[in-house]
Structures are given as C-alpha cells and as structure tokens.
C-alpha cells in the first residue's frame, strides 16, 4: 500500500469496506458458503467481519494485545453458542487480517496479518470452558444468584426483596454496589453471552439495577460532608456501558465530592468544554470496549495540551483491568479496579493522602 494507506484508528472507525473485501475473500476460498447466506445472514456475516477488522486494528494500539486475546476467547464462547464451526471462524479471522492488511501501511499490515494468523491458531486451540467468559456463575443460595434469577424472570420487586434482606442483615450500601450489583451485572453479561438469556432480559436486568441504585442513592450519600472538590465522571465517546462509572461517581459523592456524572457516550468536545467550565479537581473516564480507549487517550492529550498538570485524570473499566500499565501508557495519572479503589486513587492524586475506606 502506498501513499493512501489508512491508519489503524481510521480502520476502527470505518471498517466496512475492509469487511466487505474480507467476506469476498472468504467466499472465494470457500465457494460452497455463498449459497448458504441470504439477505439477513449476509448482513450478520458482514457485521461480524467488521467486528473482526475493528478488533484487529485495535490490537495494534495501546492495550491491544491483551484486548485481542480476550476477544478471541469471547468469540469462542459466543460462536460455540451459535454452533458456528471452528474452521469457518478461523478462516474468517484470516480473511479479515488480509483485507485489513491490504489497506494499511507496510508495517501495520505485516503486524495485522501475523496477528490474524496467530488469532486463528489460538481460536482452534482454545477451550471455551477453561476461559473466563463461559464458565462460572454465582452458586445457588447466594444473594447474587437470587438477585439475578429474579431479574431474569422479570421480577424487579423480587430483586428488591433480595436487596432488602441484605440490608436487614447489616450489609452496607457500598457492599451492595460492590458485592451484589457488580457481580450480578457481570453474570447477566455471561448469561447473554452463552445465549441463556435474551437481549431484552439483559436490558431489563440493567434497567432494574439502575432503578434500585437510584433508590439506595440518598442513603449512600446521607453521611457525606462536602469537601469542596469537584469530579467530572464520564464514559468515552461511543461507550454505552455506564453502570460502572456511575458507581464510581456515586462513591466519590459519598465521600463529599461534588460529583458531576455525565453518563454514557460523552462527545469529546463536550468533555473538554465541561472541564473548561467546571475546572474540576479530577476527571474520571471510563471505557468498557477496548476500541474506546483511543477516545480516552485523545481526551487526555487534549486536556494536557491546555494544562500539563491539571486536572488529574483517573481512568478505568474493562480494558484497564486486563492490560496492566495501560493507564500510564495513555498518559492518565492513575487507575482503580473498582469504585472503592477509584476513590482511594483519586483522593491520593488530589490530596496526596489515601481516601477513607469503608
């Protein structure tokens, strides 16, 4: 590829053309497949290819190696549930690699092609039961199990009874966030992934958990004393997973911060404008999808070009949990693996002393 080579970032943003080429390559190598696809399934196949291309491109950016390995194990669990033959997925990954490589500069192209080939070998060897995604689940008899069962059955009030039972045996609201809502949400994700529940059941569960968090919120912050510090908390642009950063924002508020929570998908320009307007002590940014980390990296760059020291920036979410040191690589000041650790790290950054624990 010559002067018109595309960048990895560009490929993440616009993967469709390469996905189309990848599908053509797949049909060329396996002509028998062509007749098996109709309008709808062809569209699905294109979407899957676009996803491979996006994740392959992301694998060349900070945190990408760990995220890509995770993607392969995620695919194995998902496609086993859909009964997609392994060799078809392996060929698809190779074709995605070739199509992506064809539009990239030489160095990126070589790396992507190699990674796609390795990914396809890894996919062949991977045991979905031994990987984090497909296995596990809370044991019956636990509050998490009862809570998830209630939500999967569409019974929000029954889930509330689980919460009430926990409260009456002395469990704190902080522990409910950390030890009930958080693992329950992850379990809901697992159930969706292994095709035990529908998208609608997952949506219901998340909406109900957010509803119950809102009910508990006044009690969570009841003891808090204002400390005069301001936090801006937001999800990366394009990021729809907002429960984690909401928990982070709530925990800061409970420690007396004026916590400005902006929810999902905050456009980069809006973040910068709010930071300019509010002059917060700390900015907390969250991503769940690895391809959204680049938005956080760019935002940090933009913030630092205005002032190299302020505000302090805390980052977190799934990509930071699986790639140690990623936070540093993209120029953040710290990370935290959950909402409690987020407050500890943020307080340390801003005051030089660790924040109070529960």
Contact between 244 and ligand B12 per CB under 6 A = yes
Contact call for residues 314 and 335 (beta carbons, < 8 A):
yes
Contact between 176 and ligand B12 per CB under 6 A = no
Contact between 252 and ligand B12 per CB under 6 A = no
CB count within 10 Å of CB 174 equals 18
Q: How far is the CB of 122 from ligand B12 (least distance, A)?
A: 16
The residue among 133 and 261 lying less far from ligand B12, judged by its C-beta, is 133
Contact call for residues 283 and 275 (beta carbons, < 8 A):
yes
| Phi and psi torsions of 278, nearest 5° | -90, -20
Which of these, 96, 124, 122, lies nearest to 109 by C-alpha position?
A: 96
Q: How far is the CB of 148 from ligand B12 (least distance, A)?
A: 11
Contact call for residues 346 and 249 (beta carbons, < 8 A):
no
Q: How far is the CB of 186 from ligand B12 (least distance, A)?
A: 4
The residue among 293 and 314 lying less far from ligand B12, judged by its C-beta, is 314
Q: How far apart are alpha carbons 14 and 269 in whole angstroms?
A: 20
Contact between 159 and ligand B12 per CB under 6 A = no
Q: Which of 145, 186, 298, 348 binds ligand B12 (CB under 6 A)?
A: 186
Following DSSP, what letter does each residue of 87-138 receive, concatenated?
Answer: HHHHHHHHHHHHHHHHHB-HHHHHHHHHHHHHHHHHHHH--GGGSTTTS--P
3-state secondary structure of 315: strand
Under rule CB under 6 A, which residues in 94-113 are in contact with ligand B12? none
Contact between 296 and ligand B12 per CB under 6 A = no
Contact between 82 and ligand B12 per CB under 6 A = no
Contact call for residues 23 and 123 (beta carbons, < 8 A):
no
Q: How many residues bind ligand B12 (CB under 6 A)?
A: 39
Q: How far is the CB of 32 from ligand B12 (least distance, A)?
A: 28
Among 36-44, 148-156, 167-175, 199-207, the segment contacting ligand B12 (CB under 6 A): 199-207
The contact mask relative to ligand B12 for 107-146 (x = CB under 6 A, - = no) is --------------------------x-------------
Q: How far apart are alpha carbons 336 and 202 in whole angstroms?
A: 26
The residue among 103 and 326 lying less far from ligand B12, judged by its C-beta, is 326
Contact between 342 and ligand B12 per CB under 6 A = yes
Contact between 316 and ligand B12 per CB under 6 A = yes
CA angle 326, 327, 330 (to 5 degrees): 85
Q: How far apart are alpha carbons 75 and 86 in whole angstroms?
A: 10
Q: How far is the CB of 223 from ligand B12 (least distance, A)?
A: 20
What beta strand segments (E) does 192-340 contain? 230-235, 258-261, 282-286, 312-316, 334-335
Q: How far is the CB of 6 from ligand B12 (least distance, A)?
A: 22
- Tokens representing 302 are 């933009």
Q: Which of 20, 189, 256, 331 binds ligand B12 (CB under 6 A)?
A: 189
Contact call for residues 63 and 290 (beta carbons, < 8 A):
yes
Q: Which of 18, 45, 197, 284 binds ligand B12 (CB under 6 A)?
A: 284
Contact between 166 and ligand B12 per CB under 6 A = no
The binding site for ligand B12 (CB under 6 A) comprises 70, 74, 133, 182, 185-186, 188-190, 193, 202-203, 206, 238-245, 247-248, 284-286, 288-289, 314-318, 321, 335-336, 338-339, 342
């Amino acid at each position: 590829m010559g002067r018109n080579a595309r960048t990895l970032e560009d490929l993440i943003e616009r993967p469709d053309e390469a996905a189309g080429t990848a599908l053509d390559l797949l049909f060329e190598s396996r002509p028998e497949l062509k007749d098996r696809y109709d309008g709808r399934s062809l569209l699905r196949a294109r979407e899957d290819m676009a996803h491979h291309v996006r994740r392959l491109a992301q694998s060349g950016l900070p945190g990408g190696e760990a995220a890509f390995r995770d993607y392969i194990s995620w695919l194995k669990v998902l496609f086993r549930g859909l009964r997609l033959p392994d060799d078809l997925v392996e060929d698809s990954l190779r074709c995605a690699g070739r199509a992506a490589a064809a539009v990239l500069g030489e160095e990126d192209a070589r790396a992507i092609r190699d990674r796609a080939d390795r990914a396809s070998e890894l996919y062949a060897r991977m045991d979905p039961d031994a990987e984090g995604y497909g296995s596990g689940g809370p044991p019956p008899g636990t509050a998490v199990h009862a809570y998830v069962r209630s939500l999967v059955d569409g019974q929000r009030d029954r889930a509330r009874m689980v919460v009430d039972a926990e409260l009456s045996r002395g469990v704190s609201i902080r522990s409910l966030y950390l030890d009930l809502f958080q693992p329950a949400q992850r379990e809901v994700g697992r159930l969706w992934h292994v095709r035990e529940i529908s998208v609608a059941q997952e949506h219901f569960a998340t909406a109900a958990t957010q509803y119950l968090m809102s009910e508990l919120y006044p009690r969570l912050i009841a003891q808090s004393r204002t400390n005069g510090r301001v936090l801006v908390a937001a999800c990366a642009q394009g990021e729809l997973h907002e429960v984690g950063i909401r928990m982070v924002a709530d925990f800061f508020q409970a420690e007396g911060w004026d916590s400005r929570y902006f929810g999902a998908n905050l456009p980069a320009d809006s973040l910068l404008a709010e930071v300019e307007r509010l002059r917060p002590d700390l900015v907390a940014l969250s991503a769940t999808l690895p391809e959204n980390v680049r938005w956080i990296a760019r935002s940090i760059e933009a913030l630092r070009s205005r002032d190299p020291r302020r505000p302090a920036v805390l980052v977190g979410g799934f990509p930071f949990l699986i790639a140690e040191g990623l936070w540093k690589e993209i120029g953040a000041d710290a990370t935290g693996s959950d909402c409690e650790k987020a407050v500890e790290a943020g307080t340390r950054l801003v005051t030089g002393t660790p924040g109070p624990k529960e």
